[in-house]
């Protein structure tokens, strides 16, 4: 069965940062406004040459430690179906902070192909408190409702610190071998911060044949240095107009990065 990694030798996933959704503190306006903003960004990624899309409830801070509310899932489903009507790119979900089951349910309901799980194995100290991975439940739920969906799992996820002394390489190996993740994601310390090349090297030594994605801080200036060691990139903030998170995605920036990824 083909996966998203069959789309291109180096996968380029653009992140659609959703505006605040109903129920979140900064929600205002209408559902139509949320949908239209998502369509604009998704179309820019598509026309610029990205290979796939992540749909993420980025505007919902402060994020839930566990399951999000049903209003969040319902809105993300409506947005995803609208995006699907305007682009043929495969898409997946990251339901912040760590709601893997909702992400899987969204894939099952809307035709999504993959999810991002911030803490799949081990435990992390975050601004939401201690978040423990639940690979056991996640992979079993996937088997029940959408066995084709891939799990892309962060290792020592951004905006967090590991609980305990497990090294990044060991955690990456266990995330795949014991957690059954389909790929691991290595990021910097926060959104937009560059990923440490040494961290990617640790993951690669632990997973010589595994799939490794760079999850933050990728731009046209540093993408080339990761090309030989990583299997792809998840990119959002650097592709906004003027590099500002609140702005729309700039199709020209997407195209410039896509050109580098395609080399």
Cβ pair 143, 182 in contact under 8 A:
no
3-state secondary structure (DSSP) of residue 1: coil
pLDDT at 226: 94
- 23 contacts: CB under 8 Å, gap ≥ 6: 60, 69, 71, 72
Answer yes or no: is pLDDT of 1 > 90.
no
Q: How far apart are CA 220 and CA 224, in angstroms?
A: 8
pLDDT at 58: 96
pLDDT at 166: 82
CA distance to 21, 60, 120, 159, 197, per residue, from 173 (Å): 35, 31, 12, 21, 18
Cβ pair 218, 233 in contact under 8 A:
yes
What is the CATH number for 47?
3.20.20.70
Query: Can you tell me the mean pLDDT for 134-156?
Result: 98
Query: Can you tell me the mean pLDDT for 195-203?
Result: 96
Report the run of H or E that residue 130 belongs to, with start and end: strand 129-132
DSSP states along 8-29? -SSEEEEEEEPPPPTTSTT--S
84-112 pLDDT, tens digit per residue, is 999 999 999 999 999 999 999 999 999 99
Residue 19's φ and ψ, nearest 5 degrees, are -65, 165
Per-residue confidence at 263, pLDDT binned at 50, 70, 90?
Answer: confident
Q: What is the pTM of this model?
A: 0.96
Which range marks the domain in which residue 172 is found?
A: 4-261
Cβ pair 105, 155 in contact under 8 A:
no
Q: Which residues pair with 114 in a beta bridge?
A: 92, 150
Number of domains in the chain: 1
Query: Can you tell me the mean pLDDT for 5-21?
Result: 95
- 149 alpha carbon, distance to own chain's centre: 14
pLDDT at 251: 98
Q: How far apart are CA 99 and CA 127, in angstroms?
A: 15
Per-residue confidence at 220, pLDDT binned at 50, 70, 90?
Answer: very high
Largest Cα–Cα distance of the chain, in whole Å?
A: 48
């Amino acid at each position: 069965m083909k996966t998203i990694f069959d789309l291109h030798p180096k996968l380029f996933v653009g992140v659609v940062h959703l505006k605040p959704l109903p129920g979140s503190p900064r929600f205002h306006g209408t559902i139509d406004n949320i949908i239209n903003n998502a369509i604009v960004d998704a179309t820019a990624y598509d026309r610029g040459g990205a290979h796939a899309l992540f749909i993420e409830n980025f505007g919902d801070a402060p994020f839930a430690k566990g399951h999000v509310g049903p209003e969040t899932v319902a809105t993300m489903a409506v947005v995803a179906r609208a995006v699907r009507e305007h682009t043929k790119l495969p898409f997946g979900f990251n339901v912040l902070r760590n709601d893997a089951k909702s992400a899987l349910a969204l894939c099952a309901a809307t035709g999504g192909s993959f999810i991002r799980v911030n803490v799949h194995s081990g435990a992390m100290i975050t601004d939401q408190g201690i978040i423990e991975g639940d690979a056991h439940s996640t992979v079993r739920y996937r088997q029940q409702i959408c066995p084709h969906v891939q799990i892309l799992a962060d290792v020592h996820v951004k905006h967090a610190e590991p609980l305990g002394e497990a090294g990044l390489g060991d955690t990456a190996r266990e995330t795949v071998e014991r957690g059954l993740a389909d790929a691991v994601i290595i990021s910097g310390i926060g959104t937009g911060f560059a990923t440490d090349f040494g961290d990617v090297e640790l993951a690669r030594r632990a997973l010589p044949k595994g799939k490794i994605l760079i999850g933050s801080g990728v731009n046209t200036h540093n993408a080339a240095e990761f090309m030989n060691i990583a299997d792809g990139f998840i990119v959002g903030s650097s592709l906004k107009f003027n590099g500002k998170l609140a702005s729309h995605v700039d199709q020209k920036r997407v195209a410039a990065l896509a050109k580098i990824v395609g080399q």
